[in-house]
Structure 1
Amino acid sequence: MRFALTTFLAFTLLLGGCDVQPKDVSAVGIPSATPFQPGLENGSDSLYADSAPTPLNLPTLTPAPPTPTPVLILPETLPDEVDVPAFTLPTNLNPLTGLPPSDPALLERRPMAIKVANYPRYIRPQSGLTLADQVFEYYIEGGLTRNIAIFYGNDSDWVGPVRSGRFFDENIARMYQAYLVFKFADPRVLSYFETTDIADFLVVPTNGSCPPFRLMTTRQIEVYNNSYFNTLLWDGCIAENGLRNDRPAIRNGFFSDTVLQSADLPGTKVYTYYSDYSYNYWEYVPGTGEYVRYQETDDMRNGKEEKYEPLMDNVTSEQVHAANVVVLFAYHTFANPFNQEDEVYNIDLTGSGEAYVFRDGEAFVARWYRTNKNQPLLLAGMNGTPINMRPGITFYEVIGTNSFASQGDGEWFFHHATP
């Protein structure tokens, strides 16, 4: 009987496992564990309902400045032995001196190349030569010389006496992309200038206050030798007459406070003899690191001895000085016999030529190169490396290719000669 009951229960369970279907079961209402969520009462379902807290003293991220891209000027002509693949444009330094300008706004204009007389002797002291960036002295005629001074990073209310133009001045006007300021010129010179593309940049006296030429009333000399230019008033004349005054692209110069090349010889005195009437010398002053100018006071005819006195600037009351003195050898030629008779020279500053550079009491044998028609000269050593000039004024003495030089004990002597 017990066996039968057990068998019946087992059989019943077996049938239930095969035939009975499970009831439907819903998960709704079955409690499950919920993570802790503070502040959800009456809150939004959005994860971004409230702004995120701001950390205290959050550092400000300053983006890195963009890497400046230098603007380059490629040389138009350059011998293979000279290692200058390209020139850069300046930023805040005057490209003609390597120094900051007296006012940065001055570099946003065109330079002025102003003719400054050296003779007759009674016109001395001249005005403004110590405020110019660069000055070129060259032979004109009759044994005499004249200066052309470039003003860019400085101004002067008196520059002069301003005298007439010469063919040579075209070189300077082009190289510095400058206004050429002069007091008339020989008809052969003036008519040529007026046919060129520098015609719009010629500045000569007219009636009225523009251009700003004026007489120095404290000097009791003839009007012809008593005309001065005021560079401070020139901007107003440009605006009044609608002239161009855009900043030209002038390459950076090669300037350094220290000498980066090995000097060839000492150079403490530099004499230049243009003629028996016109001669001068520069003397190095170690205390200032510059050269000061001495000018002849009499001729050397009939065996007379040389006589000098300091050449002064009437505006600043300073002796004319230069951080660099450069002697350039250049071809002096005549276009025709008529010009030769009157000594109307063409002085060629295109191509290249021999040069001597003096800075810091040392002398460097060099060559000059006109790499671009509208850029200043490049000065390089005989190994082709550009010579670094001392920051400051540079004064050029331009002499003929037939000139000769000698030196000894740091003193150099250059004797101008032409074909």
Structure 2
Amino acid sequence: CQTASPPTATPSPSVQPTALANVPTNTPDATETAVPTMPPPPTAIPTTAAATPNLQDAATLTPATPTATIIGMIGPEPFPENINPLTGLPVSDPAILARRPIVVKVSNAPPIVRPQAGLNRADLVFEHYAEGGLTRFTAVFYTHDVSIVGSIRSARLIDFEIPHMYDAAFAYSGSSGPLRVRFQESDFFDRIISPDFGHGGFYRMEEEGKSFVHSLYTDTYTLRETLSERGQEVPPTLANHMAFREEPLYPGEPATRIELWYTGTNATWFYSNGRYLRWSDGEAHLEAYTGQQLTFKNVVVIAANHVNTDIIEDTNNSPSIEIQLWGSGPVSIFRDGQRFDGTWQRNDPNHMLTFYDQDGNMLPLAPGNTFFQIVPLGFDRLTITP
């Protein structure tokens, strides 16, 4: 497809110019015919920036009591019956919402596992630390089914939280011994689909350069058949809702480039044509079977407490990380090329994340798909360019 260089942004004085100043952009719905490239990232990792939110502990926030209906606001209560509660978009067939969301665990390390399959069709994607400084994806499929998704990887402690948020099924392969026991004893074990417990619906597709552990795939059609056989393909019971609005409630700070440096990988988002496009480790992050670059309407940076546990996850004796997605913490929402800072909240195991500004007013997402970047409290490797 045709690509064009985005307009050069003028960084705020304390933001170091990065190698993304001339990243080519593409039309979100066009199929890639050539992989966009960019120079390598700078050797010095930025640690502070004038436009970087302070991702420290957030004060307890009391949501404001609504006094009037906000024009154009979708949700949080009541939520329209024909609107997908995970995207704020209308559905073509109400039967779509009579199904259960499916959470799928997808690899993101080492870089050879990219491009992955199916991520652009997910309603929501979470990126989080696994261990050893590397990240992993947890994708939530509700609106769309996909004929292939993967590669499928092992579960982590965070996967006791995300399926609960959306009353979802959970597909994965592998876990440490203590987590396996916890999954068996969990209240959503009847919604788990995994080779760990002899479940079918997965297959191997070996590819050159990728090890055996990165060769497992599935599809949501087969997963839904399994749920139907168990009597679990039913509408989710959602305890709360997010809010959506076509336009922000008020102007935010300009944010056309977002760069996050995890310990072992980095992610960059560049705003173009109403969406954020993703680069990973200096390369355009593509979807495997369409060639499209990953593109999302919202990018949401969630800062949460990370605690190392005594559970060992790999042969390097890396501890399993408990990412505490409960209570509250700082959030930065990126939508429409703008940044909105506030607080995320989750006060019940069955609640999804909701977002509030500094005055306690609910912050709406743009209708569409959302990518959640989960980072530790005090995270200082986030750089934003207007």
TM range (shorter): 0.7 to 0.9
Letter aligned with residue 284 of structure 1: Y
1:201 is the counterpart of 2:191: yes
Q: Pick from 319, 336, 344 the counterpart of residue 343 of structure 1.
A: 319
Aligned equivalent of 1:364:
340
Is 1:215 aligned with 2:204?
A: yes
Instruction: After TM superposition, give the deviation of residue 173 of structure 1 in Å.
Output: 0.9
Q: Aligned equivalents of 2:362 and 2:197: distance in 1?
A: 46
Does the CA contact (< 8 Å) of 1:366 and 1:381 recur in 2?
yes
Among 71, 82, 88, the residue aligned to 2:78: 88
Q: Which residue pairs with 1:74 in the alignment?
A: none
Structure 2 counterpart of 1:146: 136
Q: Please list the CA deviations of residues 246-283 of structure 1 after superposition, one character each: whole Å capped at 9, or x if unmatched.
A: 211334431111121231x21111111111x3111101
Q: Which runs of 5+ in 1 are unaligned?
A: 1-77, 297-307, 411-419
Give the Cα–Cα distance (whole angstroms) in 1 for the partners of residues 276 and 118 of structure 2.
17
SS in structure 2 opposite 1:293? strand
Deviates more, 1:398-407 or 1:365-374: 398-407
Deviations 1:192-234, CA, capped at 9 Å, x for gaps: 22222122222102698x5311223566643321111110122
Name the residue aligned to 1:324: 298
For the Cα contact (< 8 Å) 1:103–1:153, is it kept in 2?
no
Pick from 269, 273, 277 the counterpart of residue 261 of structure 2: 273
Q: 2:232 aligns with which of 240, 244, 254?
A: 244
SS of residue paired to 2:121: coil
Q: Does 1:293 align with 2:267?
A: no
Task: Classify the secondary structure of the residue corresponding to 1:327.
Answer: strand
Render the CA deviation track for 1:23-65: whole Å, top value 9, x for unaligned: xxxxxxxxxxxxxxxxxxxxxxxxxxxxxxxxxxxxxxxxxxx
Q: Secondary structure at the match of 1:168?
A: helix
- Whole-angstrom CA distance in 2 between matches of 1:93 and 1:377: 18
Q: How large is the RMSD of aligned CA atoms in angstroms?
A: 2.4
Of the candidates 142, 146, 161, which is equivalent to residue 156 of structure 1?
146
Q: Assess, with a 3 A threshold, how the Cα gap between structure 1 residues 101 and 185 changes in structure 2: closer, same or farther.
A: farther
Q: Distance in 1 between matches of 2:82 and 2:208?
A: 39
Deviation at 1:373, TM superposition (A): 2.2
What secondary structure does 2:195 align onto? coil
Structure 2 CA distance for partners of 1:109 and 1:81, relative to 1, 3 Å: closer
Match of 2:271 in 1: 284
Distance 2:208 2:384 in 1: 42
Matches within 5 A, 1:128-147: 128-147=118-137
Count of equivalent residues: 316
- TM superposition shift of 1:376: 1.4
Tell me the CA shift for residue 338 of structure 1: 6.3
Q: Distance in 2 between matches of 1:346 and 1:290?
A: 31
Over residues 318-374 of structure 1, what are the superposed CA-to-partner deviations in whole Å (9 max), with x where a residue is unaligned? 100110001011011133486895221111001000111101111111110014321
**SS of match in other structure, 1:356:** strand
- Alpha carbons of 1:267 and 1:227: their partners in 2 closer, same or farther (altered >3 Å)? same
* Secondary structure in structure 2 of the residue aligned to 1:234: helix
The separation in 1 between residues aligned to 2:66 and 2:208, in whole angstroms, is 48
Query: 1: distance between equivalents of 2:171 and 2:64?
Result: 34
Determine if the alignment matches structure 1 residue 171 to structure 2 residue 161.
yes
- In structure 2, the residue matched to 1:310 is 284
Bigger shift: residues 180-189 or 400-409? 400-409
Gaps of 5+ in 2: 1-59, 68-75
State the TM-score, normalized to the length of structure 1.
0.70
Q: TM-score if structure 2 supplies the norm length?
A: 0.76
What is the identity, as a one-letter code, of the residue corresponding to 2:376? G
Q: CA deviation at 1:378?
A: 0.5
- Counterpart AA for 1:234: L
